[in-house]
Structure 1
Amino acid sequence: MDRLTEMEAFAKVVDQGGFTDAAKKMGISKSAVSKYISSLESRLGARLLNRTTRRVSPTEIGLAYYDRALRVLNDAGEADALVACMHAVPSGLLRISVATDFGVNHLSRALPDFLAKFPDITVDMDLNNRHAMLVSGGFDVAVRIGAPEEDALCARKLSETTMRMIASPGYFAKYGHPQKIDDLSEHKLLHYRSQASGNVWNVIAPSGEMRQIRTVGSLSVNDGQSVLNACVAGLGIAYLPSFLYAHAMARGLVEDAMPDLPVEALGIYAVYPPGKITQPKVRAFVDFLVETFSEKGSVDW
């Protein structure tokens, strides 16, 4: 007889406290349940159940076997569910949380290809520079800049970006390049209010130590693209990720303010709630992001 069916029959008898109710749960006859139990006890060479006219209960050996049998049955059920899930067509509403700058400049441009590839998925994308709570916020997946802080979330690295201080050639022609970190106090620094560090830049000095630079300038804004626009216009020095400034730098609109400083690299991650089985729509989206952004270098944006 099938070992899993024998285990299932035994577990149902223990759960229901008798053969009749176990048979109803399994949708088979009481005699069939009895045969499964007899076959199991015969194969194991041990009595697993105490039988009286009023009730059925597990023996000491039966109770130990019951605990192990439940694990096996649960694992078998999860294996079946995993196969079914992996064969399922990705579909349904996919809610995404993403940092505004990355969402506007990169993710939104990639979404048409994703939706064309998976027409049964609809996307609701929330652009926000704060870290939204995935589970309580009802999000399926988030794209975040920097190492994930929540250990409870699953994370896959998509790419990297670098943080650099930049300004326009016109700005440098007027005010000159800062030669050392302390010189920044004499420059106009554009404050990006959405940075987690507030109005302070955490800059790596040539010695390797982390220096904190307080931003003082004529502009404070909570949008990275606006900071970049102000930087291109010559209003000051900005501290931005390469996925924002790379195109402007390639066109000669901005330059590195202090090229000799060490480069700070930040990972870009897709994070999603943990689970033994990842929903097909989430798995499809994360795989798509890896394929789309993995070839992007830390400055190749």
Structure 2
Amino acid sequence: MDRLTEMEAFATVVDQGGFTDAAKKMGISKSAVSKHVSSLEARLGARLLNRTTRRVSPTEIGLAYYDRARRVLNDAGEADSLVTSMQSAPSGLLRISVATDFGVSHLSPILGSFLSEFPDITINMLLNNRYVELISEGFDMAVRLGELEDSTLSARKLTETTRRMIASPAYLRKFGRPQRIDDLNAHKLLHYSSQANGAVWKLTAPSGEKRQVRTSGWLSVNDGQSLLNAAVSGLGIAYLPSFLYADALKQGLVEEVIPDLPVEVQGIYAVYPPGRFTQPKVRAFVDFLAHAFADKGPDTW
């Protein structure tokens, strides 16, 4: 007889407290349940159940075996569910957290293609620059930039971006081009206002020394595209990721301010809660993003 069926029959008898109810639960005859349990006891060489006219209860050995058997049966059930789930079409609500700048400039424009491919999925996307606790706040996944803080999450690297200081040719003609980090103290810097250290730039000198620049400027704003627009307009120097400034740089609207400085490279990742398997809707979106950004970055946007 099948070993798993024997285990299921025994465990169901214990769960239901008797052969009659176990037979109803399994959808087979009472004699079939009894035959499976007897076969199991014969194979193990041990009595697993105490049988009386009034009740059936596990022996001491039977109780120990039941604990292990139930775990095996639960695992088998999860394995079946995993296969069924992974073969089913992705569907349901997908809640995503995305950094505002990347979400607006590069994620929003491609959502239509994804939803056309997977019409049974609906998306709720939150754009902000704060750190979101995926599990406690009910998100299925997030797209994050830079070093990953939570190592317990599953992550897939999508691409990379660089960060550089950029300014318009008109600004550099008017105020001069800084040659080194210290020269930035005499310039107008454009800062993020939504980050705790928004007024501080962390730069690396050609020597490898880490420097911090705190010079104030004409504008602080909580949106990277607005900072780029301000830089193009000649309001100052902005320190932005390449996925924002790449087109403006290609068109000559901005220039790199101090080209000799080492370039900071940041990873862009899809992160999602760990588990024995990934939900089809999450897996489908992560695969879609990986394909969409396969030929992007760190400077090609």
- TM-score tier by shorter-chain length is over 0.9
Partner of residue 179, structure 2: 179
Query: Which structure 2 segments of 5+ residues have no match?
Result: none
Post-superposition offset of 1:67:
2.9
Q: Which aligned pairs between 1:2-151 and structure 2 lie closer than 5 A?
A: 2-151=2-151
CA distance in 2, matches of 1:55, 1:71: 24
Deviations 1:62-119, CA, capped at 9 Å, x for gaps? 3333233223212211111111112111122222221111111111111111111112
The residue aligned with 1:158 is 158
Q: Does 1:273 align with 2:276?
A: no
1:266-300 superposed Cα distances (whole Å, 9 cap, x missing partner): 11111222332322211111110111112212111
The equivalent residue for 1:242 is 242
Helix, strand or coil at the partner of 1:73 = helix
**Partner secondary structure for residue 147 of structure 2:** coil
- Partner Cα separation in structure 1 for residue 201 and residue 8 of structure 2: 61
CA contact (8 A) 2:168 2:255 kept: yes
TM-score by length of 2: 0.93
Listed one character per residue, the Cα deviations across residues 177-215 of structure 1 (whole Å, up to 9, x for unaligned) are 222211111111111123453311111222323211114
Conserved? CA contact 1:190–1:215, under 8 Å = no
Identity %: 75
Structural RMSD (CA): 1.8
Q: Secondary structure at the match of 1:43?
A: helix
Whole-Å separation in 1 of the counterparts to 2:135 and 2:276: 16
CA contact (8 A) 2:199 2:214 kept: yes
Distance 1:21 1:205 in 2: 76
Q: Secondary structure at the match of 2:135?
A: helix
> Higher mean Cα deviation, 144-153 or 211-220?
144-153
Q: Is the 8 A contact 1:161 1:297 kept in 2?
A: yes
Q: Deviations over 1:143-177 (max 9, x none)?
A: 11123322332221111111111111111112222
* Cα pair 2:243 2:297 within 8 Å, conserved: no
Contiguous gaps of at least 5 residues in structure 1: none
Moved over 4 A (4+): none
C-alpha contact 1:147 1:269 (8 A) present in aligned 2: no
- C-alpha distance in 1 between matches for 2:25 and 2:82: 24
TM-score (norm 1): 0.93
Counterpart-to-counterpart distance in 1, 2:20 and 2:146: 58
CA distance in 1, matches of 2:5, 2:152: 36
Look up the match of 1:206: 206
Taking a change above 3 Å as real, the CA distance of residues 152 and 196 of structure 1, as seen in their structure-2 partners, is: farther
Q: Is this contact kept in 2: 1:49–1:57, CA < 8 A? A: yes
Aligned AA for 2:7? Answer: M
Bigger Cα displacement from structure 2, 72-81 vs 22-31: 22-31
Task: Tell me if the contact between 2:99 and 2:128 (Cα under 8 Å) persists in the aligned partners.
Answer: yes
Quick one: distance in 2 between partners of 1:209 and 1:99? 28
What's the offset of the Cα at 1:43? 1.8
Deviation at 1:122, TM superposition (A): 2.0
Q: Which amino acid aligns with 1:171?
A: Y
Distance 2:74 2:151 in 1: 26
For the 8 Å contact 1:49–1:62, the answer to whether it is kept is yes
Q: Tell me by how many angstroms 1:32 deviates.
A: 1.8
Alignment-mate amino acid for residue 291 of structure 1: H
Deviation at 1:53, TM superposition (A): 4.1
1:52 CA drift (Å): 3.8
Matches within 5 A, 1:256-271: 256-271=256-271
Change (3 A) 1:123 1:271: same
Shift of 1:54: 4.4
Structure 1 distance, partners of 2:147, 2:38, is 56
